[in-house]
Amino acid sequence: MALLEIRKVTRRFGEYVAVRDVSISVESGEFFTLLGPSGCGKTTLLRMIAGFDQPDGGQILLDGQDLAELPAERRPIHTVFQSYALFPHLTVWDNVAFPLKMADIPPAQRKAQVAAMLDAVHLSDRAGHFPHELSGGQQQRVALARALVDQPRLLLLDEPLGALDRQLREEMQLELIKLQRAVGITFIFVTHDQSEALALSHRIAVMKDGDIEQLDEPSKIYGLPRTRFVADFIGNCNLLEATVTACRPDGLQLQVPALGAVEAPSNTAAQPSQHGVLALRPEQVHITPRPPAECTLNCFAGKVLDFLYVGDVTTYKVALDNGQAIQALLPNTAPGRAKFFELGDRVWISWAPEAGHYVPD
């Protein structure tokens, strides 16, 4: 049995449907992420799981028990928000001890649990400090410790790293993975940052306008997007408008208006004469100064229109002779400021027939 079962849950605000008929089961021990753009309903769904809000339709079950009648404070579920909401007048120790005090846990046991939790978030040496004496990342770790100290069945995290700068955020992502593994508590994590979702999660539900577009493990969300929205939202992606001309077991033939015939991997969802897009990641696209040895399939000439150097990689935007723009990514593995191509350089763009992924409309 799944730990958490969300069955056909809907939430309306007046005419507006914020969450529409959503069904999800989350397994015990899972790091599950709700990912989607601002306003897609992530927080609304989380609030219903926590018990701060009620669905207009559907059911939420925890360990097989319907939560409808159980008020928020009696659910074995805690939430960590972007704002840490620590008690400013309590020390780190007392902040973390607070839920145990409320639950009348005897002092000796309380002490052991707080000490173990502070150790898990690497804050044992800050136990006597007040929140304002801590960095943002440290404050967020205290909030995590406080939420985990009484061992909830489920921890909900609503953009908990949103307020942190990029470097700290990446450090905290690694910490979160380790912490979740160590405590073995199920996490439901909310973010609108796709790279964060890919890095952290066992599974991801990509949401759009209150619906789930795709629920899958990260590599499938990235490599085999089921809709145009998912392909576009998750990472940088070339989306080539295409019509299916032939479906063979070994691959698809597509007609791309500007490019002509293009070969793509087979996809059981494809039908002859169907319209869709070929989603092609920039790192799957080769860019070379001369035509590759076999320039027959998926191979086109063009010139460099633009490029973006971001240190480890450079993304080139190429205008093909036939008018199509396409992005190709090159890793900067050579030392120094590697720059392979200049603006206006003549280049060849190619990709393997097994690269890319066709997505029907």
Q: Which residues bind Mg ion (CB under 5 A)?
A: 43
- Least distance in angstroms from the C-beta of 16 to ligand ATP: 6
41 binds, among Mg ion, ligand ATP, none (CB under 5 to 8 A by kind): ligand ATP
38 binds, among ligand ATP, Mg ion, none (CB under 5 to 8 A by kind): ligand ATP
For Mg ion, which is the closer residue by CB, 43 or 194? 43
> Which positions from 38 to 77 touch ligand ATP by CB under 6 A, shown as an x/- string?
xxxxxxx---------------------------------
For Mg ion, which is the closer residue by CB, 18 or 264? 18
Helix (H) or strand (E) holding 270: none
Q: Tell me the site size for ligand ATP, rule CB under 6 A.
A: 11
For ligand ATP, which is the closer residue by CB, 9 or 18? 18
Helix (H) or strand (E) holding 227: none
114 binds, among ligand ATP, Mg ion, none (CB under 5 to 8 A by kind): none
Q: Is 33 in the site for ligand ATP (CB under 6 A)?
A: no
Could you give the strand order of the β-sheet that contains 286-288, starting from the edge strand earlier in sequence? 286-288, 346-350, 299-309, 313-320, 325-331
Instruction: Answer yes or no: are the C-beta atoms of 24 and 205 closer than 8 Å.
Output: yes
Question: What amino acid occupies position 45?
Answer: L
CB 343: neighbour CB atoms within 10 A?
10
40 binds, among Mg ion, ligand ATP, none (CB under 5 to 8 A by kind): ligand ATP
Instruction: Answer yes or no: are the C-beta atoms of 350 and 292 closer than 8 Å.
Output: yes
For Mg ion, which is the closer residue by CB, 134 or 156? 156
- Least distance in angstroms from the C-beta of 277 to ligand ATP: 25
Q: Is 309 in the site for ligand ATP (CB under 6 A)?
A: no
Cα 203 to Cα 25: distance, rounded to the nearest angstrom:
11
Inter-CA distances, 334 with 42, 338, 349, Å: 42, 6, 21
Instruction: Answer yes or no: are the C-beta atoms of 66 and 88 closer than 8 Å.
Output: no
Of the candidates 208, 188, 211, the one whose C-alpha atom is nearest the C-alpha of residue 200 is 188
- Least distance in angstroms from the C-beta of 56 to ligand ATP: 12
39 binds, among Mg ion, ligand ATP, none (CB under 5 to 8 A by kind): ligand ATP
Q: Is 18 in the site for ligand ATP (CB under 6 A)?
A: yes
Measured on CA atoms in the order 241, 246, 247, 249, is the torsion positive or negative? negative
For ligand ATP, which is the closer residue by CB, 54 or 109? 54
Instruction: Answer yes or no: are the C-beta atoms of 106 and 98 closer than 8 Å.
Output: no
13 binds, among ligand ATP, Mg ion, none (CB under 5 to 8 A by kind): ligand ATP
Measured on CA atoms in the order 94, 96, 97, 100, is the torsion positive or negative? positive
CB 285: neighbour CB atoms within 10 A?
22
> Which positions from 162 to 201 touch ligand ATP by CB under 6 A, shown as an x/- string?
------------------------------x---------
Say which residues have a Cβ less than 8 Å from residue 4's Cβ, sequence separation at least 6: 24, 25, 26, 49, 60, 61, 62, 154, 186, 188
Of the candidates 197, 155, 158, the one whose C-alpha atom is nearest the C-alpha of residue 180 is 155
For ligand ATP, which is the closer residue by CB, 192 or 226? 192
Binding residues for ligand ATP (CB under 6 A) = 13, 18, 36, 38-44, 192
